[in-house]
Amino acid sequence: MSRIALVTSSFEGIDRIKPIARHPDVETICFTDQATLADSDGAGTWSRVVIPDYPLAELPSRMRARYFKTQIHRLKEVGSRRWLVWTDALFSFHDLEFLTELTATLDGLDHRSRLFLMPHPDRKTVAEEFAFIRRAMETGSEYLHLRYDLQLMTQQMDMFIAKGMNVNGRLWASGFWVVENNVHINACWDAWWKQTVQFGVMDQLPLPPLLDEYGLKPQTLPINFRDNEYFKWTGHQDPVSGISSALPGGRPLRRTAAD
């Protein structure tokens, strides 16, 4: 059995399934639906492509995707693999050897430190991210209004502050990460899913406060997700127009906040 499971998901044509490199230590698993699979030419390069009958089919596509992301350690297809890698479907990989290097680095650390996260390239803290999103939504950002619920996010931030949780912690870009499948990280990821169910799919806001609450100490993967040596950022595919949300060179089209 492969030591590492790399998981992604794409539903309702938001992102096409992209070709991915093969590696003997990495099983690549893509969760998708029939419509997205039919419109993708990269599915054959993945170790497994799964059309799941869980969680509830009536969940919105982005909420379903958050389930596979935050509950990666509970997926029967992942099993008991030691190292878990999440990637948003808007990234493409030409070589996976770097994952073995990252997991080797984590292997020598305390269990609560065995996770690599990417810093957000544009904003530094949860409070800064929330203020940015709120301003953008209040001034009419169609992109954000379609994706997020400002009222729920405001309630979430108020809850963090009322409980004395840290809203000035480092903001992470949660579209790619590497973690060990252990009880400490899994408990935090379970709480992450509960926050998502309660307050919506803007999952970058709750992660830093939860990392503090569960005593986790992420290692910094010092890369910009839009431009790095490991993977290519393509932007989301518009299922109606077929136009990507990224322009050449990684510049966003209609995009005002990272997923």
What is the structure's pLDDT at 235? Answer: 72
CA distance 85 to 83: 7
Q: Is 210 exposed, middle or buried (0-12, 13-18, 19+ CB in 10 A)?
A: buried
What is the structure's pLDDT at 220? Answer: 98
Domain ranges in the chain are 4-233
Q: Say how many C-beta atoms besides its own lie within 10 A of residue 249's C-beta.
A: 7
Q: What is the pLDDT of residues 188-223, one digit of tens each?
A: 999 999 999 999 999 999 999 999 999 999 999 999
Tell me which of 57-66, 113-122, 169-178, 250-259 is least confident. 250-259
CA distance 86 to 98: 14
What is the structure's pLDDT at 248? Answer: 33
CATH number of 4-233: 3.90.550
pTM of the predicted model as reported, rounded to 2 decimal places: 0.89
Q: Are 3 and 103 in contact (CB under 8 A)?
A: yes
CA distance 185 to 111: 8
Q: What is the pLDDT of residues 77-91, one digit of tens each?
A: 999 999 999 999 999
What is the structure's pLDDT at 97? Answer: 97
Torsion of CA 82, 112, 163, 123, to 10 degrees: -80
Q: Say how many C-beta atoms besides its own lie within 10 A of residue 61's C-beta.
A: 17
